[in-house]
């Protein structure tokens, strides 16, 4: 069983953490979290939990976020972010995925897979897998990674990341990487089984058949006439 926690960085109300035109980092990353969780529902043996405030109204302090993840006993934690450079629009751009400075083996493998998939899916510059002494990576006890999907101060990337299309691409990149790293299997789709048809009557006179079909249609049944 794989226990995964997800957190969109910050919150909708966090000061700063927004594009030069006021669109928040959380607005984008929250959607990606939702899409990743929805897609992961299709896999067996996954239990997952979102640990940021899904209304975006409370920026849960990092210390509490780490406690939530540790106390729940997650095997994997993923933190979702958008990068920023300066305060106005500029050309700094690209994708980065972070592990803690000690480069834990499993986290490094997962980060490489996510980074590779994101570069293919989103088409932004590959800034590579990096390490950082981030609290969410340092004080969590499991495989933890932090993703910077794009720069919200890069107008081209920011606008793309606001679209459902790019949010879906980003989510696909993360889910495919998790599925590959942990060899997740998709749930079997249950087939519809045998279908039974109901026959109302058989008539040699087409007019009688038409009359009955009309009567059934009037009552809301999708009647059809078939020649036997």
CB of 83 to Zn ion, least distance (A): 7
Reduced to 3 states (helix: H, G, I; strand: E, B; else coil), residue 174 is helix
Shortest spacing between CB 26 and Zn ion, in angstroms: 9
Cα dihedral 84, 32, 131, 128 sign: negative
Nearer to Zn ion, 9 or 93 (CB): 9
Nearer to Zn ion, 16 or 88 (CB): 16
Choose between 85 and 221: whose C-beta lies nearer to Zn ion: 85
| Residues of the shown chain interacting with Zn ion in the complex, contacts defined by CB under 5 A | 9, 81
User: Which residue number, 2 or 84, has a Cβ lying nearer to Zn ion?
Assistant: 84
Shortest CB 195 distance to Zn ion, Å: 51
Rounded Cα distance between 169 and 93, Å, is 18
Shortest approach of Zn ion to residue 25 CB, angstroms?
A: 5
Q: In b/e form, how buried is each residue of 195-224, taking b as 16+ CB within 10 angstroms?
A: eeeeeeeeeeeeeebeeebeeeeeeeeebe
Could you give phi then psi for residue 86, rounded to 5 degrees? 65, -170
Contact 80, 5 (CB under 8 A): no
Tokens of 131: 């390490």
Q: Rank residues 17 and 160 by Cβ distance to Zn ion and give the closer one.
A: 17
Q: How far is the CB of 10 from Zn ion (least distance, A)?
A: 6
User: Distance between CA 115 and CA 223 in Å, rounded?
Assistant: 55
């Amino acid at each position: 069983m794989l226990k995964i926690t997800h957190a969109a960085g910050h919150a909708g109300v966090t000061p700063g953490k927004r594009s030069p035109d006021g669109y928040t980092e959380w607005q984008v990353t929250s959607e990606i979290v939702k899409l990743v969780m929805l897609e992961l529902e299709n896999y067996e043996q996954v239990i997952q939990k979102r640990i940021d405030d899904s209304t975006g109204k409370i920026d849960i302090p990092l210390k509490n976020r780490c406690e939530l993840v540790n106390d729940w006993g997650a095997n994997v934690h993923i933190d979702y972010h958008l990068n920023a450079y300066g305060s106005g629009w500029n050309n700094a751009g690209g994708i980065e995925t972070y592990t803690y400075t000690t480069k834990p083996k499993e986290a490094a493998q997962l980060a490489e897979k996510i980074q590779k998939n994101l570069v293919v899916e989103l088409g932004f510059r590959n800034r590579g897998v990096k390490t950082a002494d981030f609290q969410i990576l340092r004080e969590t006890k499991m495989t933890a990674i932090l993703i910077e999907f794009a720069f919200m101060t890069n107008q081209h990337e920011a606008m793309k990341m606001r679209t459902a299309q790019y949010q879906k691409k980003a989510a696909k990149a993360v889910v495919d990487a998790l599925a590959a790293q942990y060899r997740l299997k998709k749930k079997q789709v249950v087939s519809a089984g045998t279908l039974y048809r109901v026959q109302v009557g058989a008539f040699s006179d087409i007019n009688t058949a038409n009359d009955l079909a009309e009567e059934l249609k009037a009552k809301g049944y999708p009647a059809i006439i078939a020649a036997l």
